[in-house]
Structure 1
Amino acid sequence: MPVLLAISLVHMLNDSMQAVVPALYPILEDSLDLSLMQVGWIGFMLNMTSSVMQPVVGAYSDRRSMPIMLPIGMGLSMIGMIGIAFAPQFWFLLIAVVFIGLGSAIFHPEGSRVVYFAAGGKRGFAQSVYQVGGNAGSSLAPLMTAFIFVPLGQFGAIWGTLFAGFAIAVLLGLLPWYRRKLAEWETERSRAAAGKAGSTLVEKMSHPRVKFAMAMLVFLVFARSWYHAAISSFYQFFLKDHYGLTTQQAQIPVFLFLAAGVLGTYFGGVLADKLGLKNMIVFSIAGAAPIALVLPHLPLFWIYPVITVLGFVVLSGFSVSVVYAQFLMPANVGMASGLTTGLAFGMGAIGAVALGKAADVYGLYDVMLACSFLPLVGLFALWLPSDRKK
């Protein structure tokens, strides 16, 4: 548990640095005179570098893990924070965002492996504790906008260097434990590869049903990422345009969505250990569909409770998706984590650009209305093979 709490804390600090970028959207839109499409490109660069690189890092670390890369990744994020604070124009801002993305891409696969070693028999619970940290960090974006970036402006991003420094200190303390567990795991894997267990594992991973399930899982996380990008990145602009809220007032519903997602992440992992991984994935995406469909049509008063419930349901399957991928690919924990929290979210980053461009062309209201249908894709989760014994 101390290891889980420590790596969850680092996850929170890492995702808090990532949250600085969307938190600055309203400020950067004014200070650098950005269009909504440029705002989408910022999100695209952040998510593509932090996400698409994750399976690459995960695949490499499955063969040759390097624990020292954890603090090195945080160092790259620190450089990115400094770059954002002093970026004079759009292109300098993109370069700084790339550093933050690369730091995050290095951290996540190795962080998931630490959780895998510390989980014992409760993988859903352990992954939920880890992901709660990350989602808690992401949920800070609206608060940072209201209390840091509105008063301080773009330079307020320099506070993110404190997050990076603290995270590096915690990771240096975890390295001896991680190296010891990694050596034990490598020994066990070598023994399994030399016998029947190793061949059985390879056969399971190459089975067509496993490949289909993994492809379907990535597709589902991809659709959820598009919807999450619509709420976390553009819903604040929708509230300002459609309901006449100020920048600070528009942060409250977004914060409620993200904060409720923290609770959903935790309870989703706990329930998955009892109810099954597939069942929670179906509930988290398809179960959010009716709530998402009514959200754009609600009066302002009802938005606050409804978006809170929506955030809880949508993110209740966040950590479960990672555990399900590890269930499918037990010999490639890093790659499985990278594909679910990495590549799928990177593909979802394309949604940030597409949504920004569509909002510039067709209007924000029509785009948010169209996005409300995305959770219906969750019905495809019914095709996933069950992880429970019949």
Structure 2
Amino acid sequence: MNDSMQAVVPALFTVLEKPLHLNYAQVGWISFALNITSSVLQPAVGLYTDRASKPYLMPFGMAMSLLGMVGIALAPSFWVVLLAVLLIGFGSAIFHPEGSRVVYFAAGNKLGFAQSVYQVGGNVGSSLAPLMTLFVFVPLGQIGALWGTLFAAAAIVVLLAVAPWYKKQLVDWRPPGEDDPAKRIYPDTVLPRKRVAVAMTLLVFIVFGRSWYYSGISNYYQFFLINHYGLSAKQAQIPLFLFLLAGVVGTFFGGVWADRIGMKKIIVLSIAGAVPFSLVLPHLPLVWIYPTIAALGFILMSSFSVAVVYAQHLMPTQVGMASGLTTGLAFGMGAIGAVVLGKAADLFGMTSIMQGIAFLPLIGLLALQLPSDRQRTDIKRMVKYGAKG
């Protein structure tokens, strides 16, 4: 529901352009405002909630998004739209780190599986944008954004039901005499702090590179197909759809496999394993593009949720911060990277950009330097029995 509301914003661009007299620069600022608030602010929110988790913060964030949807539907000008989008972005930034913590508590011994389900929900919500444009916003116009408030209302009802359970988890995991649930007793970490810092830096850089490549394909590969192969705009959507759909499937199975063989192995196999497919993709005959780009999407995105769980593994006392760094900051920077790639395409041509970004998955080889996740005792088990003596 949350990511569906985020998808409403770009889906409304073509609808808002004429009645509000928006130029392309203003459209770009709207997109930038959404990404900078919903993604880049997540680590700050995660840091705050790690210190003082508040179960009812999630429905509050969703209420902000609901107000944002109303604002977009009734906005008379660009500035009101921008303010409404900021509300949606802030609401999303509040929701995601706390949502990841809820998933962490609910996962049991299947952290990869649980996080993959959570991320698949977001990916499916984001994929609704074209359908909403076709069936809601084009027929109804700007006022059709009010339908988005149904997503927010449904999410608030669910979160109000989840909040008491979440509050109980925080209490149950709190050691006797500890007033702040965010200061639950964990082993400090088996790894030295310096090594954790280096590993997190590498992980964020790896996710950053993957996000740049993902943004390049999802935003610009359709133009490459039109220019290089002579496809129509509709025909160019088919390979892109295969890439995105396979990515959703890969996100799910990557989490499942990580529980079995380890998170580091999945990260290495996913990002580095995508290299052969990314390198050949700009040079293939058209008939080979369809299976190749589907395989690329599946492999590349199989580590999407795993990177979040691995970050939580490195920072078990700062689950919100870890989630914000991987799903927020790094992925948000990838969205900003799309702007850079667009400018570069204007200067050097789309073919050169597609051939250039093909090397970005090589960054995944840095994952070989990450510490193994199979050498540590299960944190939850240590907390559960350690807190009780």
TM-score by length of 1: 0.85
Task: Indicate conservation of the 8 Å contact 2:22/2:78, yes or no.
Answer: no
User: 3-state DSSP class of the match of 2:187?
Assistant: helix
- Alpha-carbon spacing, 1:251–1:152, altered in 2? closer, same or farther (3 Å): farther
Q: Among residues 347, 366, 390, which one is paired with 2:333 in the alignment?
A: 347
Deviation track 1:115-172 (CA, whole Å, cap 9, x = no partner) reads 1111111111111111111122122234434544555555544432221111111111
| 8 Å contact from structure 2 (residues 55, 164) kept in 1 | no
Aligned: 1:75 with 2:73 = no
Alignment partner, residue 172 of structure 1: 160
Q: What is the identity, as a one-letter code, of the residue corresponding to 1:144?
A: M
Matched, 1:378 2:372: no
Q: CA deviation at 1:17?
A: 1.6
In structure 1, stretches of 5+ residues that fail to align are 1-12
Distance change in 2, residues 1:281/1:73 (3 Å): same
Alignment counterpart, residue 280 of structure 2, candidates 294, 314, 324: 294
Counterpart for residue 256 of structure 1? 242
Root-mean-square deviation over aligned CA pairs: 3.1
The answer to whether the Cα contact below 8 Å between 2:115 and 2:305 also exists between their aligned partners in 1 is yes
* Distance across 1 between alignment mates of 2:154 and 2:355: 41
Superposition map of 1:58-73 within 5 A: 58-73=46-61
TM-aligned CA deviation for residue 296 of structure 1:
2.9
Partner residue in 1 for 2:171: 183
Q: CA-to-partner distance for each residue in 1:28-57, whole Å, 9 max, x for gaps?
A: 67875644x765544433222112211111
Q: Distance in 2 between matches of 1:236 and 1:20?
A: 21
- Partner in structure 2 of residue 118 of structure 1: 106
Distance 1:365 1:152, change over 3 A: farther
Asked if the contact 2:52–2:180 (Cα under 8 Å) also holds between the matched residues in 1, the reply is no
In the other structure, the counterpart of 1:97 is: 85
Q: How does 1:270-349 map to 2 (within 5 A)?
A: 270-349=256-335
**In 2, Cα distance between the equivalents of 1:82 and 1:39?**
19
CA distance in 2, matches of 1:338, 1:156: 31
Q: Which residue of 2 aligns with 1:212?
A: 198
Deviates more, 1:91-100 or 1:303-312: 91-100
> What letter corresponds to residue 285 of structure 1 in structure 2?
I
* Amino acid of the structure 1 residue aligned with 2:37: T
C-alpha distance in 2, partners of 1:352/1:17? 21
Letter in 1 for 2:256: V
1:264–1:315 contact (8 Å) kept in structure 2:
yes
| Higher-Rg member (1/2) | 2
Q: Contact 1:285–1:317 at 8 Å: present in 2 too?
A: yes
- More displaced 10-residue stretch of structure 1: 120-129 or 225-234: 225-234
Paired position in structure 1 for 2:118: 130
Separation in structure 2 between the aligned mates of residue 247 and residue 74 of structure 1, nearest angstrom: 35
Distance of aligned partners of 1:100 and 1:319 in 2 relative to their CA distance in 1, 3 Å threshold: same
For residues 143 and 220 of structure 2, the distance between their equivalents in structure 1, rounded to whole angstroms, comes to 22
Q: In 2, distance between residues paired with 1:247 and 1:290?
A: 27
**Range that drifts further, 22-31 or 287-296:** 22-31
CA distance in 1, matches of 2:62, 2:345: 34
SS in 1 for 2:188: helix
* SS class of match (1:66): coil
- Offset of residue 327 of structure 1: 0.8
Q: Distance in 1 between matches of 2:49 and 2:58?
A: 12
Number of corresponding residues: 374
Equivalent position of 1:21 in the other structure: 9
Q: Is the 8 A contact 1:142 1:252 kept in 2?
A: no
- Aligned counterpart in structure 2 of residue 367 of structure 1, from 353, 358, 370: 353
**Percent of matched pairs sharing the same residue:** 64
Which residue number in structure 1 is paired with residue 147 of structure 2?
A: 159
Ranked by relative contact order (alpha carbons within 8 Å, sequence separation 6 or more), the top structure is 1
Structure 2 runs not aligned, ≥5 long: 377-389
